[in-house]
Structure 1
Amino acid sequence: MARFLFVVLPVVSHLSAPLAVGQALEAAGHEVAWCGPRSDLRPLIGPDATLHPTGKRHYRPDAASGMDSVRSLWAGHVLPANRFIRDAADRAVADYRPDVVVADQYALAGALAAHRHGVPWATLCVGVLELTPPTDEMPEFDDYVHAQLARVWAMTDLPVDPALDLRFSPYLVIGLTTAALTGPAALPARCVLIGPALGRRPNAPGFAWDAWDPVRRHVLVTVGTMAEHLAHDFYRRIVVATAPLADRVQVILTAPPGLVPDPPAHVLVAPRVPVLELMPRLDAVVSHGGLGTVSEALAHGVPVVVAPIRHDHPTVARQVTRAGAGRTVSFRTATPAELTSALAAVLDDPAYAAGARRVAESFAAAGGARAAAAHLAALAASAPLSHQEAR
């Protein structure tokens, strides 16, 4: 059996997939350790799991879109976060001596540490911004990102390897999607698409099931955990938009206390919900376009209304629309009437549910977390004997 070290960043939406893959590896008899923020990881991995803590650097994204959001992502989060965890990631690889490092695509310090110590690593792509870059809409994207990668190399004393793109492992790249969404997009070398990685979530919150109306249809509205500070007006418009549907639709809206004051009777507001428990019971999801939430919905055959905000959200929205699994609206400018129309369409037109089911079938065939674990185990088995003996 092999040893795997997961290197993650302190972004809640980036933790569910590696957790599921780690669970699948452990179920197959492998040993799994973690490098990341103790406060985020310990409730997920339990008290006995091996954890190499990095500390936590908070990231509060702004409302920028397009290339401005990409610049904000790299300058405000990726670069400082990797500078912050660089030494901890290096110590974790040196001390734990894994057979394979599994690094979040933006945890570039994990890739660098593996490279330094001669350990093969896999890239886990929890979004599609890098996997299927929006170069048609952002022609400067590639040049800008490569300039930022040069700055990452400059954080170390390692000689720059111009053939090595730290975003994509030369050993294995795992994408949490399928061709049903990406279409014919060119993918990195050694890339496998396994669909969403879904597993147990020990920190899932409870839910007020006594308020659940079994007669009405159900819609989950969420903008994830990183954009709630931008969502006040969007949520206001959603509440107005769903009023004409209130006799037949119940809305479950995730928002912190006070963001949606005095919700009407057809709207249940909760700061967090057990998403995977809710999904089989939902008829539609309204989302900002984070790949995790959208994939979780589509994995259950639930159509989506996507209101993209930034980063890879517009790409996800285009992919959902192209797959016939949902509609796209403007997060910033969609009127209540436009939101009502989009939501009524995905609820009432069976073509959208059929599109979501087609994507769900592709996800199931791709294998999810168990497929990722199998690819990682194969990579560990192919590691040079010299490396395994050194451990």
Structure 2
Amino acid sequence: MSRRAHIAMVSIPAHGHVNPSLELIRELVSRGHRVTYANDASFAEVVSSTGAELVPYRSTLPRPGEPWPEDTAAQLDVFLDDAISMLPQLRAAYEHDRPDLFLYDIGCSTARILAENWGLPCVQLSPASVAWEGYEQDMAPLMEWLRTDPGAVAHHRRYTEWLASCGVAQPDSLGFVGRPPRGLVLIPRALQPHEDRVDRQRFTFVGPCFGDRSGQGSWQRPPGAQKVVLVSLGSAFTQQPAFYRACLAAFGGLPGWHVVLQIGKNLRPDELGAIPANVEVHPWVPQLAVLEQADAFVTHAGMGGSQEGLACGVPMIAVPQASDQFANADQLVALGVARRLDTEQATPEALRSALLQLTEDPQVATRLAALRKQSREEGSAARAADVLEAEFLSETRAAAR
């Protein structure tokens, strides 16, 4: 049994951080809970579609199309500056409307600060892999960079000092972000490195929370298309005309294959040259609807696309572009269901060879079938909501408070 509670979700205005939580938010609202969702006003429509109430704050993160610094430490500072700006806004918004539970994205340490200040429970929602026991030793090059790079050292000193000034009990910036008191991991266990060494008292894997996406539109496999390959680098890495031309050269006219090419909103099809007859080009496609009918997927290996590929049982050619995509690509390769081609390696010959090898290997098909079954069985918004209600919103807990 659970009671109607006020649950506050806090996230940043980035689709890769917002989208993974939307079905859980919708599920909590459907169970009668009041859910407020703190985010930039630019995400008002996305938030309202779940039934949650938007609590607007002004984010300082770069808007779509605005430049980010190239230096990694400077990028971290961008997120820290946003958190510092966000905290007083959230404190004012929730001071007289305190929730029973804070949920927060990995990019929103502000929610955990408020929870600690006010003695409230909080749960981190992770749309990416989490730290495991021995992480620091296994990631020695990264940890060495954090300890020695002047920009990284300055960043974490400033972060730690800010946490201390906010009254956080253990203001170590790395531990504060990477070791939450409680966390739900919104990815398949198969995509978590060293999954067997993740602290199950701290983290619970609830898998990807897919929901009804009919509102995004549909896609139908063309008559006569024997096999379909989807090519998509998501929404943030689409300024890649040379890569798209390589895909056209690799797959255009390939017997039996139909190609769905998503190029984003900033490129025009005529910039790619002649489009082969077996290729359709779009600025955007309903990705999951295509993958459910596809036979292969050329992806940048973002976590969203990677888990959608596994859920649909589709072999992948991973062409990572940034951040965790390189690790995701390596994890997919380790699972035996993908080939990794970095951008400079993604020649027409390499792309075509990878496609044919992956789709003609029966062992790849067997592994994909098992992973597809595992992914669909472990993930659901209902399971995630059950965990939250059992641990934080039960009648017993309510009575004790």
TM-score range for the pair, normalised by the shorter chain length? 0.7 to 0.9
Please state if 1:302 is matched with 2:283: no
379-388 or 126-135: which moved more? 379-388
1:35 to 32, 35, 38: 38
Distance in 2, matches of 1:212 and 1:125, equals 37
**What is the match of residue 10 of structure 2?**
7
Identify the residue that residue 293 of structure 1 maps to in structure 2: 305
CA distance change for structure 1 residues 25 and 228 in 2, over 3 Å: closer, same or farther? same
1:98 maps to 99
Q: Is the 8 A contact 1:174 1:193 kept in 2?
A: yes
The 1:253/1:386 distance shift into structure 2, 3 A limit, reads closer
Counterpart position of 1:161 = 169
Show CA shifts across 1:81-112 (max 9, x none).
22332222223432432111111101112222
Counterpart of 2:222?
212
- Is 1:253 aligned to residue 256 of structure 2? no
Shift of 1:298: 0.6
**CA separation of 1:248 and 1:279: change in aligned 2, threshold 3 A:** closer
SS in 1 for 2:280: strand
Query: Whole-Å Cα distance in 1 between the matches of residues 130 and 345 of structure 2?
Result: 23
Q: Report the 3-state secondary structure (helix = DSSP H, G, I; strand = E; otherwise coil) of the residue aligned with 1:228.
A: coil
**1:79 CA displacement:** 1.6
Is the partner of 2:344 in helix, strand or coil?
Answer: coil
Task: Identify which of 212, 233, 237 aligns with 1:227.
Answer: 237
The structure-2 alpha-carbon separation of the partners of 1:100 and 1:140, relative to structure 1 and needing over 3 Å to count, comes to same
Measure, in 1, the Cα distance between the counterparts of 2:328 and 2:387: 25
The answer on 1:45 being equivalent to 2:54 is no
Per the alignment, in what secondary structure is the counterpart of residue 245 of structure 1? Answer: coil
Q: 2:188 touches 2:379 (CA, 8 Å); kept in 1?
A: no
SS in 1 for 2:225: coil
Greater RCO, CA 8 A, separation 6+: 1
* Counterpart position of 2:186: 176
Matched AA of 1:374: D
Partner residue in 1 for 2:350: 338
Structure with greater Cα Rg: 2
**Residue 224 of structure 1 aligns to a residue in which SS?**
coil
Contact 2:170–2:176 (CA under 8 A) maintained in structure 1: no
Question: Structure 1: how far apart are the matches of 2:29 and 2:153?
Answer: 35
Contact 1:5 1:93 in 2 (8 A): no
| 8 Å CA contact retained: 2:243, 2:343 | yes
Count of residue pairs brought into register by the alignment: 381
- Between 1:47-56 and 1:214-223, the stretch displaced more is 47-56
TM-score w.r.t. the length of structure 2 is: 0.83
Structure 2 partner of 1:20: 23
Q: Deviations over 1:175-234 (max 9, x none)?
A: 122432325343355111122121234862x3565x8345231122111122223x2322
Match of residue 198 from structure 2: 187
**2:232–2:263 CA contact under 8 A, matched in 1:** yes
- What residue is the counterpart of 2:250 in the other structure? 241
Alignment deviations for residues 26-60 of structure 1 (CA, whole Å, 9 cap, x no partner): 23332221000222242443396311011343255
Distance in 2 (CA, whole Å) between partners of 1:5 and 1:201 is 24
Between the two proteins, what is the percent identity of the paired residues?
Answer: 24
Give the aligned residue type for 2:283. P
| Counterparts of 2:126 and 2:77, CA distance in 1 | 19
Per mean C-alpha deviation after superposition, the further-off stretch among 250-259 and 18-27 is 250-259
Structure 2 residue ranges without an equivalent (≥5): none
In the TM superposition, residue 327 of structure 1 has moved relative to its aligned partner by 1.3
1:298-357 deviation per Cα after TM superposition (whole angstroms, max 9, x unaligned):
111112111112211111111111111211111233221111111222222232232222
Change in CA separation of 1:11 and 1:233 when aligned onto 2, cut-off 3 Å: same
Q: Which 5+ residue runs of structure 1 have no aligned equivalent?
A: none
Over aligned residue pairs, what C-alpha RMSD do you find? 3.1
Secondary structure of 1:268's partner?
strand
Distance 2:206 2:140 in 1: 26
| Residue pair 1:16, 1:198 contacting (<8 A) in 2 also | no
**How many angstroms does 1:267 deviate by?**
2.1
Match for 1:370: what amino acid?
A: A
- The one-letter amino acid paired with 1:363 is S
Task: Provide TM-score, normalisation by structure 1.
Answer: 0.85
